[in-house]
Amino acid sequence: MRVIVGITGASGAIYAQKFIEKLFKKAELEIIVSEVGKEVIKQENPYFLAELSKYGKVYEFNDYNVSIASGSHLFDAMIVIPCSMKTLGLIANGIANNLIIRAAEVCMKEKRKLILCPRESPLSPIHLENMSKLAKLGVIIAPLMPAFYTKPETINDLIEHTINRLMDLLGVSGEHVKRWRE
């Protein structure tokens, strides 16, 4: 399985890190980090940026002269984690002014699975309209909202459950997922 992972400048770099660490064992990864994404990672989780290339091929945010900018590139799915409201809004409106948005646009036009993991609160009517528009077009909107029915004891437990559910959505088996009433 080949998956494109976009990381943007919303808070929650730890989600991207834990997700990539888990997914790279099951899938070939192609990774793009936005400029502000890099800044947020530096603030929240500095060592992760230097380690990224261990997990897959890392592309420049503003380079369109690469395979993943083309509809001819074969891949199975794309996920943007965390997804800023800016990136979500640009995807919703077809404005491909960086490689993350171009890859997402390709994903939509080629009818592949696209998962966006927004992190913002509260949400404005514009955010909600953009999310609604994308959801109606088949994009999976999976906000980074931790669940508590698993009785988490640590922040890591909360993150782990969220990313295991994202692995479910991607169709990659997430071992140790605590499922309700199972």
Number of residues that bind ligand FMN (CB under 6 A): 16
- Interaction residues for ligand FMN, span 15-44 (CB under 6 A): 34, 36-37, 39-40, 43
Closest approach of ligand FMN to the CB of residue 122, in Å: 11
Rounded to 5 degrees, φ, ψ at 123 are -100, 135
98 vs 164, which CB is nearer to ligand FMN?
98
Assess contact for 84 and 9: CB atoms under 8 A.
yes
34 vs 164, which CB is nearer to ligand FMN?
34
Unique residue bearing structure tokens 């997990």: 55
Tell me the C-alpha to C-alpha distance, in Å, between residue 181 and each of 94, 135, 145, 177: 41, 28, 20, 12
How many CB atoms sit inside 10 A of residue 111's CB? Answer: 8
Q: Which residue stretch of 3-11, 129-137, 145-153, 166-174 sits at the interface with ligand FMN (rule: CB under 6 A)?
A: 3-11
Among 86, 112, 133, 178, interactor with ligand FMN by CB under 6 A: 86
Residue 1's identity, in one-letter code, is M
| Residues of this chain that bind ligand FMN (CB under 6 A) | 8-11, 34, 36-37, 39-40, 43, 84-87, 119-120
